Structures are given as structure tokens and as C-alpha cells.
């Protein structure tokens, strides 16, 4: 940059501008920064789902750092003498004692711990919802398979991270979960016993596991998560966003708002919404009250012990798997292995490989930047719904004892519901979804072909009644629309094509006067009419009808439907 | 049916029907039908009156013969009278399933020999007995018998079957933290660590301790109702039982420092809150952000 003259046009005159110039002189960041700030984000709401996960992760980092100041990750036996009366004099691990201290003696400790836990539940939930959006819209297709793999890895890591964190208070609930995991380690053929002794450094529970899980929880997994999230976002920026098909949207552009200022404002707002939600839940709704559960003692166990929601399906799988004793190549394989490792293993393998599987099955190897609506790919959508159904059945089975108790159902009935439901409900979900997809797609095609139902009934000279349809575009000699099916949203109501006054704006309350909107609409219509009368009509070539809804815009001699 | 018959008859035999009836218009088919209806009503009224009279007679007779409230009043303070009154109650409400000598009846009810007044207090005071029907487990209901009648039944069972008796004094006179430890060791595997109850196999369940009073919990430990094991004084000393009761009742009454307790059932309720309130609120938030600006 030129620095010799101060009078040249474009030179900064303010202090900030001059400082920025000095920085740019040394680091040369203006170009890349401009490119980044100009990045365009699509404005559809579903593109914000992944961002919720990102902000939940930020909340987790902030609140988790505060907790590390007070948490003691050792399993040394201590006698509690703190302020919670119902535990005073009880022997417990130092980890549990410090957790009690965080909840009862550290200023703001309980709030921050509850925020941390709620944000963790939200983090995994947001990843799952984001994953579903990516799956159902086909955003994982070439060239974005890499980001799909990274996303699946992030999900698995988030679950592990959550499980490690759930275990850290060393309470009776999480200890029971850890005990189940130790049984799962033992159930692995051939290497199970060695894995078990390696993880626990001896027999369960030992004195090491909390310290090891702590390092996993605060250092190793977060570091990998952070690196993968960064990579995930870099790839996203490099490959640019996908977008839904629509007017003006092609495979070669992205329609939306630039990062700066619009999207930055939106993103900041969303961060505060996520932060506020975590804070509100942390302050208002009690989570993981481990002082009621008590310190972990392998001799004790409680009814209704559950993992956090994202591990629930693993628990469900092991609860409903039949007690079959399977011997393979001379190795006895306990049923818990199939339920706890087999089902999640198959699930995540299929999930990670899905882009490749779909590419092989469809033979579609082209690059795609336009999304597909779920209805346009009925097989994929139905497979997704089938997987969700199976997951939900496992999930319900993971909490089947609580459900049985609360709703006065036999626990055995709940188990059999899980077993039968896991096999029967997914195919039903597939069939129902497939029919719904076809129905929606057919309706879109019908509207494209025959037009929008106007609700205007007309009587023909012959006495026949017909409903007048508004074609969406030019029609052929039979009155059928000539617009091709493009996989984009099709307007199905007259006010979506300007047949009625548009909806009054305002999310919570109207922010404009209906009368003013009406006036404006009339003005616009007059402008349109004069414009239309001044030019040759395209399409149906019927200037007399002018494509106005009241006339139906349909040829008189072809009164169909 | 009868009306059509009358109308078809009337024109043919008008004279005869006119003789039979007192009113001159009686010959008309409508009048014949009306008379027939009236006599039917009269008969019906007579039936109802007869039934009522029989019912009143039975009621009066029963109240004269059956042991009334006055008989129960006499028994207070007199043990043998209480046992006698208890026998009456037992014979009326319990004998079908527990047998004439408390020995129990095959496939209906267990023997009551040796269960003691503790079991009677628990079962009758929580409304589990008398049983409404045979099912997986007797549900808790409002008690059928009054406190006094329960005392009489307890006296009768204690006198004839023997067994553990109810404690006296302050049942919460025990160490809170030790009670918690004992509760987690002995009770939590079925009743859950917060006493919320839990499911057992085939529709049986360990009930929630939310509504249980001190004496009910003590009596349950002594008698081991339904699927619960007996915690005799050799397994849990009376002091330990009082500690457990102290812990259960203290925890129940304690506020939730972290906010809404959401049933204190742990991750299932937490997951539900996250997916409904949490994800729901955020979806609402992003719909809001996704609405097109003008």
C-alpha cells in the first residue's frame, strides 16, 4: 500500500483507519478478511442448527473452565464435613466431595455446573438435529462427504465426552453407568479382560478411572473436538454453503446474507439465545442432583438408574437384547456385547458410510450444491425415518423402567414392546414416509400442471361447475402448465402468488398497519397492471385474461378439473 | 303390536268392546290402548313399592342384627373386646382369602400367622387390604377401615397369629447421614435413591415413598409386604430403621436447591426437558431469525 502521500484518495483519515492500515502493512490481512466478511450465508432457518451446537460448545468451554478451578479428580477416600447435612460423616471420594463443594459451597458453582450439564445435553441434541437436516436434504453428497465424516466423528466424540463428564462427580448414578461400561469392556471377545484391566488400571473401580476420565474430558477429547470443529468450518467456508433450490439459485451461486454485517448480527444474537437458554435452564431446572444419589459404592445400586439421553439408546439396546448365549469360534459372546457395542457399532458405521452407500446405489457421482427436499428423495427420507424410529424404540427402552413405573405398565410388557417394536415399527415408518413423500411430490406436480386452486367456482353454459385454477406459468393448448418439476417449493395458495394481500409482518405482534399494507398492495397491483398492459403477454398469449386470478387464466374451451 | 291389533279389531267388534268399557268413547282404538297402558303403569308402580318395602325391611333387620358403631365403641380400652370386634371385621372382610384360622387360602391369600400387627397396619392403613381384585400387586388406596377398626383388626391378628408389633416413640430419632447410607444400601435398588419408586417384573413395583408416613415405613420394614423383603430387627436395628426413616422424610421435605426438581427421576426427565423445552425454544428462536426481514 502507498504510504508516501497522505492526500491520495482512499487513504484513511480516522485514527482507527490509520491503525488498521498499519496492521495491514505488517500482516497483509485485508484481502482474506474481506473475502471472509463477504462470505454469503443462506438465510433458511435450518442452516442455524449446526450453529446452535457450536455455541453450546462455547458455553461448555466457558462453564467447564470455571468448574476445573474447584474440581478434584482423585478417588482418595475422604470423610465429608461440608455444608450438606445429609452427607456429613459419610466416606466418599475426593471427586464426589469436591462436586458437593461446587454445588453447595462455591459461589455460583451450582448454577455453572447445571449450565454445563444442560449445555452438554444441548450440544449433542443440536448435533443430532443438525445431522438430520444434512441427511434429509442430501447436503452430504459430493463434494461434502469429508465434512459428513467429520460430523459423525464429532457426534461420537461428543457422546464420549458427555459420558466422561457424567462420570466425573463419582456419584452412585454415574458409577452405575461406569459399572455397566466395565461389563461391556469385559464382554468384548478375546481382548475384553485386557481392555478392562487397562482402562481401570486393575479391578473395578480402582483408584485411577476418575483421573483418567478427567484428562479425557478436559483435555484430550475437547482438543480433538476443537480441531475437528475448526476443520469442519474451514471446509464449509472453502466449499461454500449448500442452498435450497428456488428462484435465482443455481449450482454456482449462494443466495443469502453476507457474513458482515447481517449474518454476524444474527450469529451473535443466536449465541446469546443459546447462552440465555443454558443459563435459564441451569438456574431454573435442577439437573443431576447427585447429592440425592450419594457417593459411588459398588455395593449399592438404585432403581431407575439411567445414562444421559444420548447414551440412552445404548442402554436400551442392552435392555431389550434377548438373553441368547452365542458361541462363535469357541468364544462365548455375552448378549450385552450385541446390545451395547453391536447396535451402536452398526449404527455409526452405516451413518458414516451412508454417502458412499448412496453414491454406489444411485450411481450419482456428480457434485451437488443445491439441496434436495426430503419428498424428492423418498427412499433416502424413508430410510432416515426408519433409522429414527429404530433409534427412538431403543431410546424408549433405555428408560423403560421409569416409563413402566410412571405409567403403571408391566416392565416385561415394555421390554417386549422394545423387542417387537425394534423389528416391526421401522418398516412401517418406511412405508408411511414413502407414501407421504410420494403424495407431497404428486401434489406439487399437480399444482404445476393444473395450477393453484383458487376457491372460485364457475358455472359453465352447459351447467357444469368447475373450480378455477390459477396456472403458475405458461400453459399449453390443453391448459396444462409447462413448468418443469424443479424440486423447489411450489406455491399452493393464492396469496403466495400475490392473489391476496401478503401476511402482516411481525413475529410476536404486528409491526405494520394492515390498511397501509393493503394500500401498498393496491399501488403495486396498479403498477403491475399498467406494466402488463404495455407489453405483449408471454405464455398463454391471452391478453384479455392477463393471467389475473379472477379470470382463472385458463382457456375457456378446456374447463378441466 | 297391541295398538295395531286394537285398531284392526275395533271396527269389526265395536259393540262388544263398548259394553266392556265404562266410558262411551271407549270403543275407539286409542282409548283401548290408553287403558292398557294405564294398567301396565299401575302394575309397575306396585312392583316398585313392593321392592322398596322389602329393601327397607332387610335394611332395618340388618341394622338391628349386625354389630353397629355402638358395639365398637364399647370395645375401646378393653383388649378382649377389641379382639372380638376385630374378629367380626376379619370375618366380614378378610376371611375369604386368609381363611378362618388365618392359615391362608390356596391361590387367594397368604397365611397371616406370624405377620403381626405391623403387617396389618401397613396393609390396611394404606388401603392395600382389603384387596379389590387379584392382580400383580395391591395398589395403594384410601383406607377402607377407620383408625379404630384398624386397631381392632391389629389386635385380633396379633392375638391369634402373633408377630412383630408396632414401635412407639419418635421414629425419626436417628442419624441422618447414616440413614442415607443404609437407605442406599438396602432400599434404593427398588425404591430409587430419591424414594421415587421403581418398576419390578411383571407389573409389580416398589412404590414411591412420597406419601408414606413414618409408621408405614417402619411397618413395611418389619413386615416385608408384597415383594419387599423383611428387615427384621436383626438385619436393621430399631435405631437404624429410625435413621432410614429420618433420611427418607428429610430428603422428601428438602427443597431442590437447583430449581425445579422435575420429579427427581434423573436423566429420563432431564432428556425430556432438553428435547421439549430446550430444543423447542431454540427451534422457535431460529424460526424467528429465519423469518425474512422486509
Write out chain A residues lying below 8 Å of B192, CB-based: 302-304
Confidence class of residue A317 from pLDDT cuts 50, 70 and 90?
A: very high
Of A273, A302, A405, the CB nearest to B282: A273
User: What would the mean pLDDT of A468-482 be, rounded to a whole number?
Assistant: 87
Confidence class of residue A75 from pLDDT cuts 50, 70 and 90?
A: very high
Which is higher by pLDDT, A238 or B292?
A238
Averaging pLDDT over each range in A53-57, A405-409, B122-126, B197-201, which range is the top one?
Answer: A53-57
Q: Does residue A391 belong to any structural domain of this protein?
A: no
- The answer to whether A304 contacts B278, with C-beta atoms less than 8 Å apart, is no
pLDDT above 90: percentage of residues in chain B: 44
Q: What is the DSSP string of B78-114?
A: -HHHHHHHHHHHHHHHTHHHH-TTS--BTTTB---TT
Is B162 in CB contact (< 8 Å) with chain A?
no
Is A409 in CB contact (< 8 Å) with chain B?
yes
Is B172 in CB contact (< 8 Å) with chain A?
no
A residues 250-279 closer than 8 Å to B (CB): 266, 269-270, 273-274, 277
Is A70 in CB contact (< 8 Å) with chain B?
no
Write out chain B residues lying below 8 Å of A285, CB-based: 258-260, 262, 273, 277
- Residue pair B231/B239 in contact (Cβ under 8 Å)? The answer is no
- Residue pair B183/B201 in contact (Cβ under 8 Å)? The answer is no
What is d(CA A327, CA A331) in angstroms, rounded to the nearest whole number?
5
User: What would the mean pLDDT of A142-146 be, rounded to a whole number?
Assistant: 93
Of A277, A309, A341, which marks where a domain is finished? A309
- Residue pLDDT, tens place only, B159-207: 988 888 899 889 998 999 999 999 999 999 999 999 999 999 888 999 9
A61-75, A106-120, A331-345, B48-62: range with lowest mean pLDDT: B48-62
**Nearest CA-CA distance, residue B174 and chain A, Å:** 12
Is A308 in CB contact (< 8 Å) with chain B?
yes
Is B253 in CB contact (< 8 Å) with chain A?
no
Write out chain B residues lying below 8 Å of A87, CB-based: 177, 180
Which is higher by pLDDT, B60 or A180?
A180
List the beta strands (DSSP E) in A19-146: 40-41, 77-79, 91-93
User: What would the mean pLDDT of A135-143 be, rounded to a whole number?
Assistant: 93
Of B197, B261, B289, the CB nearest to A45: B289
What is d(CA B24, CA B6) in angstroms, rounded to the nearest whole number?
17
Confidence class of residue B35 from pLDDT cuts 50, 70 and 90?
A: confident
What is d(CA B265, CA A288) in angstroms, rounded to the nearest whole number?
9
Which is higher by pLDDT, B40 or A25?
A25
- The answer to whether B181 contacts A402, with C-beta atoms less than 8 Å apart, is no
pLDDT at residue number A549: 41
CATH number at residue A222: 1.20.810.10
User: What would the mean pLDDT of B51-58 be, rounded to a whole number?
Assistant: 82
A residues 165-224 closer than 8 Å to B (CB): 172-173
**Nearest CA-CA distance, residue A98 and chain B, Å:** 17
pLDDT at residue number A528: 64
pLDDT at residue number A434: 97
Q: Quote the DSSP letter at residue A481.
A: B
- Residue pLDDT, tens place only, A261-298: 888 888 999 999 999 999 999 999 999 999 999 999 99
pLDDT at residue number B79: 67
Of B184, B250, B281, the CB nearest to A277: B281
Q: Is the pLDDT of residue A553 over 80?
A: no
Confidence class of residue B27 from pLDDT cuts 50, 70 and 90?
A: low
Q: Is the pLDDT of residue A52 over 90?
A: yes
Q: Does residue A101 belong to any structural domain of this protein?
A: yes
Q: Does residue A418 belong to any structural domain of this protein?
A: no
pLDDT at residue number B7: 43
Best probe of the A interface among B274, B280, B294, by most A CBs < 10 A, is B274
> Which cell goes with A271?
449465541
Q: Does residue A285 belong to any structural domain of this protein?
A: yes
Of A273, A291, A309, which marks where a domain is finished? A309
Report the SS3 class of residue A16: helix
Q: Which domain holds residue A108?
A: 42-242+261-309
Q: Is the pLDDT of residue A401 over 50?
A: yes
Q: How far is CA A406 from CA A399, A419, B208, B225, B269, in A?
A: 11, 20, 10, 21, 11
Q: Quote the DSSP letter at residue A339.
A: I
Q: Does residue A85 belong to any structural domain of this protein?
A: yes
User: What would the mean pLDDT of A90-94 be, rounded to a whole number?
Assistant: 94
User: What would the mean pLDDT of B269-274 be, rounded to a whole number?
Assistant: 94
**Nearest CA-CA distance, residue A284 and chain B, Å:** 4
Q: Is the pLDDT of residue B73 over 50?
A: no
Q: Is the pLDDT of residue A542 over 60?
A: no
Please state, rounded to an integer, the average pLDDT across all residues of chain A: 88
- Residue pLDDT, tens place only, A198-226: 999 999 888 999 999 999 999 999 999 99
> What is the number of structural domains in chain A?
2
Confidence class of residue A393 from pLDDT cuts 50, 70 and 90?
A: very high
Helix axes A192-200, A172-187, angle to 10 degrees: 150
What's the number of CA atoms in the CB half-sphere (13 Å) around residue A322?
A: 7
- Residue pair A274/B282 in contact (Cβ under 8 Å)? The answer is yes
Best probe of the A interface among B176, B179, B189, B193, by most A CBs < 10 A, is B193
pLDDT above 90: percentage of residues in chain A: 62
For cell 454445588, what's the residue? A103
Q: Does residue A324 belong to any structural domain of this protein?
A: no
| Among the listed residues B30, B35, B39, B41, the one whose alpha carbon sits nearest the alpha carbon of residue B6 | B30
**Nearest CA-CA distance, residue B215 and chain A, Å:** 21
Q: Does residue A426 belong to any structural domain of this protein?
A: no
User: What would the mean pLDDT of B257-274 be, rounded to a whole number?
Assistant: 91
Q: Does residue A359 belong to any structural domain of this protein?
A: no
Amino acid at each position: 500500500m502507498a504510504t508516501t502521500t497522505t492526500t491520495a484518495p482512499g487513504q484513511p483519515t480516522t485514527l482507527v483507519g490509520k491503525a488498521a492500515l498499519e496492521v495491514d502493512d505488517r500482516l497483509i490481512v485485508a484481502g482474506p478478511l474481506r473475502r471472509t466478511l463477504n462470505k454469503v450465508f443462506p438465510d433458511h432457518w435450518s442452516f442455524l442448527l449446526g450453529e446452535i451446537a457450536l455455541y453450546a460448545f462455547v458455553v461448555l468451554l466457558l462453564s467447564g473452565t470455571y468448574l476445573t478451578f474447584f474440581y478434584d479428580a482423585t478417588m482418595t477416600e475422604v470423610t465429608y464435613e461440608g455444608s450438606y447435612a445429609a452427607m456429613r460423616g459419610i466416606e466418599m471420594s475426593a471427586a464426589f466431595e469436591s462436586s458437593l463443594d461446587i454445588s453447595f459451597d462455591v459461589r455460583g458453582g451450582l448454577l455453572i455446573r447445571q449450565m454445563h450439564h444442560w449445555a452438554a445435553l444441548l450440544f449433542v441434541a443440536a448435533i443430532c438435529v443438525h445431522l438430520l437436516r444434512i441427511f434429509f436434504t442430501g447436503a452430504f453428497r459430493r463434494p461434502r462427504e469429508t465434512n459428513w465424516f467429520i460430523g459423525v466423528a464429532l457426534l461420537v466424540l461428543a457422546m464420549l465426552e458427555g459420558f466422561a463428564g457424567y462420570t466425573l462427580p463419582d456419584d452412585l448414578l454415574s458409577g452405575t453407568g461406569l459399572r455397566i461400561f466395565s461389563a461391556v469392556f469385559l464382554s468384548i471377545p478375546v481382548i475384553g479382560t485386557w481392555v478392562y484391566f487397562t482402562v481401570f488400571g486393575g479391578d473395578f473401580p480402582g483408584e485411577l478411572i476418575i483421573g483418567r476420565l478427567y484428562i479425557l474430558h478436559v483435555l484430550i477429547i475437547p482438543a480433538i473436538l476443537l480441531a475437528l470443529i475448526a476443520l469442519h468450518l474451514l471446509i464449509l467456508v472453502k466449499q461454500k454453503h449448500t442452498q435450497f433450490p428456488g428462484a435465482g439459485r443455481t449450482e454456482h451461486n449462494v443466495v443469502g446474507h453476507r457474513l458482515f454485517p447481517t449474518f454476524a448480527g444474527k450469529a451473535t444474537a443466536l449465541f446469546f439465545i443459546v447462552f440465555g437458554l443454558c443459563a435459564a435452564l441451569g438456574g431454573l431446572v435442577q439437573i443431576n442432583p447427585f447429592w440425592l444419589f450419594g457417593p459411588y459404592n459398588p455395593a449399592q445400586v438404585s432403581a431407575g438408574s439411567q445414562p444421559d439421553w444420548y447414551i440412552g439408546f445404548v442402554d436400551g439396546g442392552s435392555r431389550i437384547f434377548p438373553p441368547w448365549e452365542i458361541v462363535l469360534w469357541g468364544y462365548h459372546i455375552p448378549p450385552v456385547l450385541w446390545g451395547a457395542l453391536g447396535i451402536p457399532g452398526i449404527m455409526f458405521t452405516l451413518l458414516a458410510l451412508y454417502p458412499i452407500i448412496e453414491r454406489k446405489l444411485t450411481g450419482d457421482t456428480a457434485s451437488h450444491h443445491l439441496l434436495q427436499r426430503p419428498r424428492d428423495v423418498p427412499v433416502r427420507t424413508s430410510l432416515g425415518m426408519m433409522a429414527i424410529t429404530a433409534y427412538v424404540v431403543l431410546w424408549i427402552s433405555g428408560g423403560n423402567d421409569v416409563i413402566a413405573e410412571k405409567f403403571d405398565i408391566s416392565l416385561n410388557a415394555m421390554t417386549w414392546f422394545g423387542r417387537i417394536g425394534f423389528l416391526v415399527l421401522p418398516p412401517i415408518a418406511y412405508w408411511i414416509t414413502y407414501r407421504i413423500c410420494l403424495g407431497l411430490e404428486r401434489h406439487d406436480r399437480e399444482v404445476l400442471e393444473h395450477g393453484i386452486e383458487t376457491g372460485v367456482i364457475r358455472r359453465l353454459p352447459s351447467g357444469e361447475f368447475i373450480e378455477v385454477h390459477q396456472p403458475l406459468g405458461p400453459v399449453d393448448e390443453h391448459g396444462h402448465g409447462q413448468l418443469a418439476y424443479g424440486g423447489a417449493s411450489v406455491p399452493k395458495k393464492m396469496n403466495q402468488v400475490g392473489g391476496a394481500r401478503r401476511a402482516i409482518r411481525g413475529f410476536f405482534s404486528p409491526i405494520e398497519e394492515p390498511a397501509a399494507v393493503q394500500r401498498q398492495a393496491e399501488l403495486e397491483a396498479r403498477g403491475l397492471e399498467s406494466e402488463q398492459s404495455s407489453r405483449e403477454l408471454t405464455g398463454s398469449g391471452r391478453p384479455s385474461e392477463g393471467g389475473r386470478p379472477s379470470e382463472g387464466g385458463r382457456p375457456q374451451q378446456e374447463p378441466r378439473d | 303390536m297391541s295398538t295395531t291389533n286394537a285398531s284392526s279389531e275395533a271396527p269389526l267388534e265395536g259393540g262388544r268392546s263398548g259394553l266392556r268399557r265404562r266410558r262411551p268413547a271407549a270403543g275407539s282404538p286409542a282409548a283401548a290402548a290408553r287403558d292398557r297402558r294405564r294398567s301396565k303403569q299401575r302394575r309397575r308402580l306396585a312392583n316398585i313399592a313392593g321392592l322398596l318395602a322389602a329393601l327397607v325391611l332387610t335394611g332395618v333387620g340388618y341394622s338391628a342384627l349386625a354389630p353397629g358403631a355402638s358395639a365398637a365403641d364399647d370395645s375401646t380400652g378393653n383388649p378382649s373386646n377389641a379382639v372380638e370386634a376385630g374378629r367380626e371385621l376379619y370375618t366380614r372382610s378378610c376371611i375369604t382369602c386368609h381363611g378362618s384360622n388365618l392359615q391362608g387360602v390356596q391361590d387367594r391369600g397368604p397365611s397371616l400367622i406370624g405377620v403381626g400387627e405391623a403387617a396389618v397396619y401397613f396393609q390396611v392403613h394404606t388401603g392395600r387390604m382389603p384387596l379389590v381384585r387379584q392382580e400383580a400387586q395391591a395398589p395403594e388406596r384410601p383406607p377402607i377401615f377407620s383408625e379404630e377398626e384398624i386397631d381392632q383388626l391389629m389386635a385380633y391378628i396379633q392375638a391369634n397369629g402373633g408377630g412383630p408389633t408396632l414401635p412407639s416413640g419418635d421414629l425419626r430419632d436417628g442419624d441422618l447421614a447414616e440413614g442415607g447410607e443404609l437407605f442406599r444400601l438396602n432400599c434404593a435398588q427398588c425404591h430409587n435413591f430419591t424414594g421415587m419408586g421403581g418398576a419390578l417384573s411383571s407389573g409389580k413395583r416398589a412404590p414411591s415413598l412420597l406419601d408414606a408416613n413414618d409408621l408405614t415405613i417402619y411397618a413395611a420394614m418389619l413386615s416385608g409386604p408384597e415383594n419387599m423383603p423383611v428387615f427384621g430387627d436383626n438385619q436393621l436395628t430399631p435405631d437404624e430403621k429410625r435413621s432410614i426413616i429420618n433420611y427418607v422424610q428429610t430428603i422428601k421435605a428438602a427443597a431442590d436447591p437447583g430449581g425445579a426438581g422435575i420429579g427427581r427421576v434423573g436423566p429420563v426427565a432431564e432428556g425430556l426437558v432438553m428435547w421439549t423445552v430446550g430444543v423447542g425454544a431454540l427451534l422457535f428462536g431460529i424460526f424467528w431469525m429465519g423469518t425474512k426481514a422486509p
